[in-house]
Amino acid sequence: MTAIESFRDLRVLVTGASSGIGRALSLRLAREGARVALVARRREELEALAAEIAAAGGEAVALPADVADRRQVEVCVEKARAALGGIDLLVNNAGYGHHRPFLDWDTEDMEQLLHVNYFGALYFTKALLPDMVARRRGWIVFVSSVAGRIAPPDESAYAASKFALTGLASSLSHEVEPHGVHVLTVFPGVIRTPFFDAEALAAMPPVARRGMVEVDGLVTAILRALERGRRELTHPRWMAAGYWAQTLAPRFLRRQLQRVTRRSREPSGS
């Protein structure tokens, strides 16, 4: 277990930096003195963010790439190395999802989800981990989801991609910690970001909508978790109660998940 003592001059690569959690985390890390490589597909958003960081006295470089494309990831990592001289902290955050019954879910989109949410993280980790192990210094953050531990109805492909990510992170943590590389897996609950478009908000169970929290709280919690050398973070914290329920009262949890989902399928007002 290795804690980060200071973010000053730390060389960081954040995927999914053009929006939501990745954007907010990049801004905060840059404000703390880190030098940040910003990765996502939308070039304009990344360049605007890099300019915002520079205007505030920080350092960031925009590196547009599709994380689902292994070749693009390899080129992106080379550019990040050239720009920053190496990467100390990798944040595997890029991802997307839908709330959709399995039978309505397009097969190609289910494949794409796995490529973005799981293989994207795997490609970046493969490309950057050898340097970290050689230097005996590095941190890797995997942004999974509570749905990467508890699979609710109508999230089959998304939950599968996040369970895959959780498994990768947990196993890797054992392997690399003796080599000085620390793995933190983050399990966000429901965070207010553009992740939830109008379709997603309409389909969201009211209890989830009520439990939605702001992104800044999650960003603060991630930084604190890295400073404390924690291996896992669930935010908001109360959602971790679901893991206990899953182990100790699985039938109760199953009924709750089904009830909540059934209600979200009912027309509003019914």
Ligand X SMILES: NC(=O)c1ccc[n+]([C@@H]2O[C@H](COP(=O)([O-])OP(=O)(O)OC[C@H]3O[C@@H](n4cnc5c(N)ncnc54)[C@H](OP(=O)(O)O)[C@@H]3O)[C@@H](O)[C@H]2O)c1
CB of 73 to ligand X, least distance (A): 9
Q: Which residues bind ligand X (CB under 6 A)?
A: 15-22, 40-42, 45, 66-68, 93-97, 116-117, 143, 145, 188, 190-191, 193-195
Are the C-beta atoms of residues 35 and 59 closer than 8 Å to each other?
A: yes
Closest CB to ligand X among 74 and 177?
A: 74
User: What token pair was written down for 243?
Assistant: 């893991």
Closest CB to ligand X among 48 and 249?
A: 48
Helix (H, G, I), strand (E, B) or coil at 26: helix
Angstrom distance (rounded) from CA 63 to CA 28: 18
Helix (H, G, I), strand (E, B) or coil at 199: helix
H/E segment holding residue 138: strand 138-143
List 96, 118, 123, 158, catalytic entry: 158
Closest CB to ligand X among 105 and 179?
A: 105
Closest CB to ligand X among 34 and 121?
A: 121
CB of 182 to ligand X, least distance (A): 20
User: What token pair was written down for 41?
Assistant: 């597909």
CB of 136 to ligand X, least distance (A): 29
Closest CB to ligand X among 25 and 132?
A: 25
Clarify whether 96 is annotated catalytic.
Answer: no
**Residue appearing with tokens 């389909």:** 203
Radius of gyration of the chain (CA): 18
Angstrom distance (rounded) from CA 20 to CA 10: 22
Q: Which candidate, 138, 135, 219, 144, places its Cα nearest to that of 182?
A: 138
Q: Which candidate, 115, 67, 60, 63, places its Cα nearest to that of 94?
A: 67
Q: Which candidate, 173, 24, 4, 23, places its Cα nearest to that of 88?
A: 4
CB of 77 to ligand X, least distance (A): 13
CB of 251 to ligand X, least distance (A): 25
Please identify every residue annotated as catalytic: 158
